[in-house]
A and B are shown apart, each in its own frame.
Chain A
């Protein structure tokens, strides 16, 4: 199971790289504006919809998409599937940037960010009652773990062999924490909405939100690994790891099945379906579920799993499913009453676009300059 990794090299300032860089700078400028003039100056957030695009995309969806490292760690380390190890490094890298930027998005979204430290101080922390405390502690710990997990990549490049050996010896403990924290915070992210009570439509409100968010995050983790492998092979003109991906895809329908079973059993048992109507909520509910069911059916077929295009479409469907589920459970299904409405403002969207762009810029820089992607023997 010996693999070698190498930077893919090449020109850094390509056209897409430059565009992403500019979008990132625009986002940064708008963030500066937000800090000078308040949240209302760049967002459409209001007293009825205090959480909008930033919380739902930058934190909920982005960390879901960043679960690739988590999903691969479960497969390789919890289930001892060493053959998937070459997929870990690129997945880990995406996770590092996804989570790091999600954490920075918190600072932009919170109004009194200098008091964020109070979440961690024993004197002020509402630990045990507020799901957000668990989310905050677990996400910040996981970011630390991710950087340690990624450190061999940098130590390798900088030739710090001795330090690398020390890190390597204790890595199994770090990896274990790297599997624990996402399990905790991905479920706690779902737990956040339980206290919203009847403001969240019965189509989404359930005591099982933590379990549903965890399962859907694992689905997204597997999907993002498949998506990323096919996408980067195409864009970076590298050979496809087809056989490995086809094998990997065999686990996905079962996790999707587990998610869907829990989703529908809890929905029917609690009578949540009676809230269904053919309105915006109802339509989004249908779309969400179709996006989960479609890839499950596709990936059950062996011939489909052997085709890269089918794998690609299925993975996109799962990523969208997880994203739509998160948007539904936090925004679409949320109705505070009192006539409040929300749709993100242009500047608000541009800040999110800026954050995504910065993430991609950092990812591209890393794979081109650091040994992240495996050197493929059939290359």
Chain B
């Protein structure tokens, strides 16, 4: 028994050594975002909570209303839609932070602020890392994270993994789908921009190349509180095709110059761009005057769990060396033990 216990601990410690080599092995770091990555900037200080973005989002993505009780009861079509949070019918949601008497905009105490939640399009998407069937893919050019129904097995590991709780699953369907914002990639492919940005009347949500919106965010933060700033509406690209506001279909005309600027005094920004480094970086950036944690966002500056998870997996399974070595040892041991176990027996068991 003594010898065996020692042997057992030898195996255990061998495993421990393998595991502890995780820190010494060349760890994979966060993948850089594509140079041409598309981005969306949400400036909470400008948002008036009108929910135009929600309406545009539903129309552009043919998403149903959250509930049809009004239509059923009153025969009134549901332009009025108020789900509490993102769900399988809502890819984009305006929420509100309120404190005390909630009188002053952009103020933490006795104030309020809106926040718009949608997919962050992470540089290192946890959903894609976790997904066993590569149903989530990050576009090599635009960086948009998309979901493929023909691959998804509905295990909902993406929901466990996503730090922002973005992917939503149809729990009420026999043949369920997963829904998340895909940055209106179908419109962008034709020269359009995401609906949330196009229909935002104040420019709280704007679209542009990620590098450009990051520059824009930095410029805004640098401006003194109260100073006037030319806020651009809809897109930093200036020229883009418009989405028809009549029947929701896309108008196939030439891109026009849609540059539109509103001048207004800037609020007291927090000197931080949320999404720039969180979880390895994101393509949806948020500016705010109210602390980000108050807006229901995860802790500032948290690290990518996907990179961490994959590094451990890669270490253990690198070149399948460890599993194959273990198997070799086990075959040897099993052979030796079977021999002594069935010594002299013609037909044994197992």
A194 to chain B, nearest CB (A): 4
Min Cβ gap B267→A in Å is: 26
Contact at B337–A39, with CB atoms within 8 Å? no
Contact status B350-A113, CB under 8 Å: no
B34 within 8 A of A: no
A interface footprint on B126-165 (CB within 8 Å = 1, 0 otherwise): 1011111111000000000000011111111101110101
1/0 per residue, CB under 8 A from A, across B296-314: the answer is 1011001101101110111
Chain A binder among B96-104, B190-198, B341-349: B341-349
Assess whether B221 is interfacial by the CB under 8 Å rule. no
Cα distance A101–B154 in the bound complex, in angstroms: 19
Instruction: Give A177 to B333 CA distance when docked, in angstroms.
Output: 12
Size of chain B's interface in residues, with CB distance under 8 A?
A: 85
Q: Does the CB pair A168–B308 fall under 8 Å?
A: no
Contact of A283 with B by CB under 8 A? no
Pick from B3-11, B106-114, B240-248 the stretch touching chain A. Answer: B3-11
B174 lies within 8 A of A38 (CB): yes
A3-B349, A134-B317, A338-B296 given; A110·B161 CB < 8 A: no
Q: Chain A: interface secondary structure?
A: helix
Asked if B313 and A199 make an inter-chain contact with CB atoms under 8 angstroms apart, the answer reads: no
Which single residue of chain A is at the shortest CB-CB distance from B333? Answer: A78
Which stretch (B12-20, B72-80, B200-208, B210-218) binds chain A?
A: B12-20
Q: How far is the CA of A48 from the CA of B87 in the complex (A)?
A: 10
- Report whether B347 and A168 are in contact in the complex, using a CB–CB cutoff of 8 Å: yes
Any chain B CB within 8 A of the CB of A195? yes
A152 pairs with B160, CB closer than 8 A: no
Name the interface residues of A182-219: CB closer than 8 Å to any CB of B.
183-184, 187, 191-199, 207-208, 210-211, 214-215
A28 within 8 Å of B (CB atoms): no
When distances are taken between beta carbons in the complex, the residues of chain A under 8 Å from B253 are none
Given A76-B337, A82-B337, A132-B130, the answer on whether A168 and B173 have CB atoms closer than 8 Å is no
With contacts A172-B331, A180-B327, A194-B305 taken as known, whether A211 is within 8 angstroms of B15 at the C-beta atoms is yes
A247 to B348, CA, bound (A): 24
Chain A 96-137, CB-CB to B under 8 Å as 1, else 0, gives 000000000000011111011011000011101111111010
Residues in A325-373 with C-beta less than 8 Å from chain B = 334, 336-338, 340
Complexed CA–CA distance, A191 and B59 (Å): 40
Q: A260-280 CB contact bits vs B (8 Å, 1 = yes)? A: 001000000000000000000
Residues of B with C-beta under 8 A to A13: none
Instruction: Find the A residue at minimum CB distance from B348.
Output: A168
Instruction: Chain B residues near A50: list those with CB within 8 A.
Output: 156-157, 159-160, 169
Give the A interface residue count (CB, 8 A): 93
Contact of A38 among B160, B173, B330, B350 (CB under 8 A): B173
Q: Are B341 and A85 in contact (CB under 8 A)?
A: yes
| In the bound complex, CA of A317 to CA of B152 (Å) | 39
**Contact in complex: A251, B5 (CB < 8 Å):** yes
Asked if A51 lies at the interface with its beta carbon under 8 angstroms from chain B, I say: yes
| B residues 314-340 in Cβ contact with A at 8 Å | 314, 316-317, 323, 326-327, 330-331, 333-338, 340
Chain A nearest CB, measured from B316 CB (Å)? 7
B175 at the interface (CB under 8 A from A): yes
CB of B4 within 8 A of CB of A110, answer: no
Q: Cα distance A41–B129 when bound, in Å?
A: 29
Q: Which residue of B lies closest to A187 (CB)?
A: B316
Query: How far apart are the CA atoms of A133 and B169 in the complex, in Å?
Result: 21
Q: Which of B87, B128, B132, B342 has the most CB of A within 10 A?
A: B132
Instruction: Name the one of B154, B326, B334 contacting A112, with C-beta atoms under 8 angstroms.
Output: B154
Docked pose: A124 CA to B152 CA in angstroms: 10
Task: Give complex CA distance A214, B326 in Å.
Answer: 15
Is A23 part of the contact surface with B, judged by Cβ < 8 Å? no
**B8 nearest CB neighbor, chain A only:** A79
Interchain CB contact under 8 A, B317 and A128: yes
Q: How far is the CB of B74 from chain A (nearest CB, A)?
A: 27
B1 within 8 A of A: yes
Contact among B12, B167, B330 with A176 in the assembled complex (CB-CB below 8 Å)? B330
**A18-56, CB under 8 A of B: which get 1 and which 0?**
000000000000000001111111010111101100000
Per-residue B-contact encoding for A134-178, CB less than 8 Å = 1, 0 else: 101000000000000100100010000100110010011101110
A77 within 8 A of B: yes
A93 at the interface (CB under 8 A from B): no
Question: B153, A119: Cβ atoms under 8 Å?
Answer: yes
Taking the closest CB of chain A, its distance from the CB of B10, in whole angstroms, is 11
In the complex with contacts A82-B341, A128-B317, A110-B305 CB distance below 8 A: no
Q: In the bound complex, how far is the Cα of B134 from the Cα of A88, in angstroms?
A: 39
Q: A5-B349, A124-B133 are in contact. Are A118 and B155 (CB under 8 A)?
A: no
Give the distance in Å from the alpha carbon of A168 to the alpha carbon of B302 in the complex. 54
Chain A hits for B331, CB < 8 A: 172-173, 176
Task: Note all chain A residues with C-beta closer than 8 A to B159.
Answer: 47-48, 50
Please tell me which one of the listed residues A130, A172, A196 contacts residue B132 in the complex, with CB atoms under 8 A apart: A130
Considering only CB atoms, which chain B residue lies closest to A167 in the complex?
A: B350
Contact yes or no, A47 B165, CB < 8 A: yes
Q: Tell whether, in the assembled complex, residue B160 and residue A41 are in contact, meaning their CB atoms are under 8 Å apart.
A: no
* B7: A residues at CB distance < 8 A: 79
11 residue pairs A–B, Cβ–Cβ below 8 Å: A38-B170, A46-B171, A80-B337, A92-B350, A111-B156, A112-B152, A124-B151, A125-B133, A173-B331, A177-B330, A198-B302
Q: A125-B132, A180-B323, A337-B165 are in contact. List 11 more A-B contacts (CB 8 A).
A: A37-B172, A47-B86, A47-B159, A77-B338, A89-B349, A111-B170, A132-B132, A195-B130, A195-B308, A197-B126, A337-B298
Task: For the complex of A and B, list the 5 residue pairs with the smallest distance between their C-beta atoms, beginning with the closest.
Answer: A111-B154, A197-B305, A40-B171, A50-B156, A112-B154
